Amino acid sequence: MKLCVAVLLFYMFQVIHGQPDYQGFISIDCGIPLNSTYQDSITNIVYVSDYGFITTGENRIISSDYMEPSLAKRYSNLRFFPHGPRNCYTLRSLVMGNKYLVRASFYYGNYDGLGKPPVFDLYLGTNYWHEVNYSDAGAFNWMDIILVVPTDYLQVCLVNKGMGNPFISGLDLRPLNTTLYPEVNASQSLVLVNSNRFHMGPTDNSIIRYPSDPLDRIWTTYNAIPNCTKISATSPMHNNLRDVYDVPPSVMQNAATVNSSRIDFSWNPSDPSANINSKYFFIFYFAELQHVPSKAVRQFDIIVNNKTWNSRPYTPTFLFANYFSGVVQGMENYSVSLVATKNATLPPILNAMEMYLVKPITAVATDPEDARAMMAIQDNFGVVKNWMGDPCTPKTFIWRGLNCSYPPANPSEIMGLNLSSFGLVGAISTNFRDLKALQYLDLSHNKLSGPIPNFIGELSSLMFLDLSSNDLSGPIPYSLLQRSQNGSLSLRVGGNPNLCGNGTSCRTVRKKINGTLLAAIVVPIVIAITLFVILFLLRQALKGKAKRKATGHEDGSALLGSREFSYKELKHITNNFSQEIGKGGFGPVFLGYLENGNPVAVKVRSESSSQGGKEFLAEGSTLDQDSSQELSFFGWLLQGQKSSGSCLRVHARREPAGSSESHFY
């Protein structure tokens, strides 16, 4: 169970982004919400939205009158295209040269309330696929095409022909083994119109498809054989090793037969586009499902439009699938007869059949490298306009701004690009370098920025380059200047104030930074610096506290007794003796602060004092021995010792409790 979930999630991740799943399947439900996905309860196929496959169109839900309980989920909605003559799905990541089956499904369901299904054309790349023309608003219709893909991508285009808005309900892609359907090659494909792939099972309109058919071909019941009866195998079926159509055993499990010597029926292509020049490819499948008695013989001829296809009488092999196939000319009606031979004792049987329209591939597409480059440029700049499908062909739908060459038997090449005023924003796409035949490139009047890439000068065919009126910067590549000077290139670069070259020296350009960006840069830096300073100060304070604790000076009480200071330290404590707060008999007194923030009074003996140095020192000594008062910090300084190396003392004297008078000595 976990493995199944993992596989399902992998599948969903792949196809949502426009890629095939792990089986190579692409299964699109056109019209479901963006990025949504679901698993079909019958086939277990995971369907995804068409996000990543197309950028145009609108989603709609069919009319409630056509919502039936048995309706498959993918037919309850659709995508229609009210704008533009051509709208295209792009299926990517394919294997160039491999065979694929592509199916487009349609269920109108009167989604627009007009009661009239539109008529429009389908194209596969540059080649016409078929007209979509269904008159029944409540009918399910699909078209298959088997083809060899010429590139690693495939485009399915709906073309408006003025008969209503094109729409589509579903789009599927299935990989095929390259040995299957050998009639399909680079020059022709096979188109299945009107669901003409039949099995002869029960008459309940049952459908056989994936997983019974690993290729997910849709087989419907054929009920147009008159007076037929159904027979079924009681043992498992086997495929013949020579079976190049890989018909599934579930399809071969049943057969139609009659109680007479022949099976006769007719088949009408019901295809208005078919004419005498058209060709159809028929495949008839046979297998014996019953044990034939030893004396019994089942033997018959296969006749199409009165022409016998088998060279000798045919006898089906028991429980092994076999086939007869051939091409027939276009007609309004085809007759098919399975006629028992004279030796036969049992009637003919028919297990299954397929009828394809042979479609020659005549249109030559744009050079694959050019086409990929243009699709990448479209993705780079988000260009909408009519940029979908093949860039150059058909000519009716050439992309706006392109000029292409149309050689008789070779791919078209892009010769010119006029993208002036296209609203292009950003750097010049590197994908321009892949347009090897480009002669004319006009990118003027856009919002292109950054440098002019050097590879532009390496486009050997380029003769005209207009980059004017953009915001390009930096030096003009030397190769462009050289070609401009020798006359091999017409170069226009005006209107790019930050470009330099051709005599203009390059200067560093100061770019304006908006306020939001500036704030986003500066504010975090300021916060970081502030936090650093706070942490630094806290760290220093903690270090000082630890140091004082270690030396016995952790707080003010540790200053009881004497402590010596240098003259330089006293200058720092008193802020260079800037604040005189009193005057005594010896001289002035200055206010200072110790490192722990406590105030101190520093008393200085003046030279004009009537008292001598001995008396001043004696008073200091008395303070050393007196510790009976409340703390009031002050110091003393003997005039004449104002040298940075002098040792001075600060003393603590206790004042009477509650005293507001300061004493300075």
pLDDT (mean) for 471-487: 94
pLDDT at 428: 97
Using CA atoms, how far residue 610 sits from 230, 527, 586, 606, 614, in Å, is 145, 59, 7, 9, 12
pLDDT (mean) for 398-405: 96
- Sequence-distant (≥ 6) Cβ neighbours of residue 571 within 8 angstroms: 577
pLDDT at 598: 72
pLDDT tens digits, one per residue of 223-243? 889 889 999 998 899 887 778
Do 40 and 8 meet the contact criterion of CB atoms below 8 Å apart? Answer: no
Model confidence at 6, pLDDT cuts 50, 70, 90, reads very low
Task: Give CA angle at 553 (549, 554), nearest 5°.
Answer: 50
Above pLDDT 90, what percent of the chain? 62
Residue 518 within a domain: no
Above pLDDT 70, what percent of the chain? 79
Q: Which residue is it, tokens 């939205």?
A: 49
Question: How far is it, in rounded angstroms, from Cα 281 to Cα 189?
Answer: 11
User: Given a cut of 70, is residue 217 above it in pLDDT?
Assistant: yes
205: CATH: 2.60.120
Provide the domain count of the chain.
Answer: 4
Question: How far is it, in rounded angstroms, from Cα 458 to Cα 466?
Answer: 16
- Sequence-distant (≥ 6) Cβ neighbours of residue 47 within 8 angstroms: 27, 28, 29, 32, 37, 38, 39, 40, 73, 74, 170
pLDDT at 452: 96
Question: How far is it, in rounded angstroms, from Cα 622 to Cα 624?
Answer: 5
Boundary of a domain, candidates 312, 328, 360: 360
pLDDT (mean) for 297-308: 96
Six-digit token pair at 345?
Answer: 């004792």
Model confidence at 627, pLDDT cuts 50, 70, 90, reads very low
Boundary of a domain, candidates 360, 386, 410: 360
137: CATH: 2.60.120.430
- Domain ranges, residue 631: 565-640
Instruction: Identify which of 255, 221, 220 has the alpha carbon closest to the alpha carbon of residue 237.
Output: 255
- HSE at residue 331, side-chain half, CA atoms within 13 A, is 12
More confident residue, 39 or 241: 39
User: Given a cut of 80, is residue 502 above it in pLDDT?
Assistant: no
Model confidence at 262, pLDDT cuts 50, 70, 90, reads very high
Do 356 and 325 meet the contact criterion of CB atoms below 8 Å apart? Answer: no
Residue 660 within a domain: no
Do 383 and 335 meet the contact criterion of CB atoms below 8 Å apart? Answer: no
Q: How many CB atoms lie within 10 A of CB 615?
A: 13
pLDDT at 78: 97
Q: What is the largest CA-CA distance in the chain?
A: 162
pLDDT tens digits, one per residue of 538-582? 776 666 555 555 544 444 444 434 566 777 777 878 888 877 877
pLDDT tens digits, one per residue of 277-294? 889 999 999 999 999 998
Q: Rounded mean pLDDT of the chain?
A: 83
pLDDT at 57: 95
Residue 279 within a domain: yes
Q: Are residues 490 and 372 in the same domain?
A: yes
User: Given a cut of 90, is residue 599 above it in pLDDT?
Assistant: no
pLDDT (mean) for 7-35: 71
Model confidence at 342, pLDDT cuts 50, 70, 90, reads very high
Helix (H, G, I), strand (E, B) or coil at 458: helix
Residue 620 within a domain: yes
Which bin fits 282, alpha (ψ -120 to 50), beta or left (φ > 0)? beta
Q: Are residues 354 and 217 in the same domain?
A: yes
CA torsion, ordered 369, 371, 377, 382, to nearest 10 deg = -160
Residue 650 within a domain: no
Residue 513 within a domain: no
pLDDT at 611: 62
Q: Is the dihedral of CA 310, 315, 317, 319 positive or negative?
A: positive
Q: Are residues 328 and 202 in the same domain?
A: yes
User: Given a cut of 80, is residue 186 above it in pLDDT?
Assistant: yes
The model carries a pTM of 0.72
Q: Are residues 323 and 375 in the same domain?
A: no
Q: Are residues 324 and 230 in the same domain?
A: yes
More confident residue, 78 or 270: 78
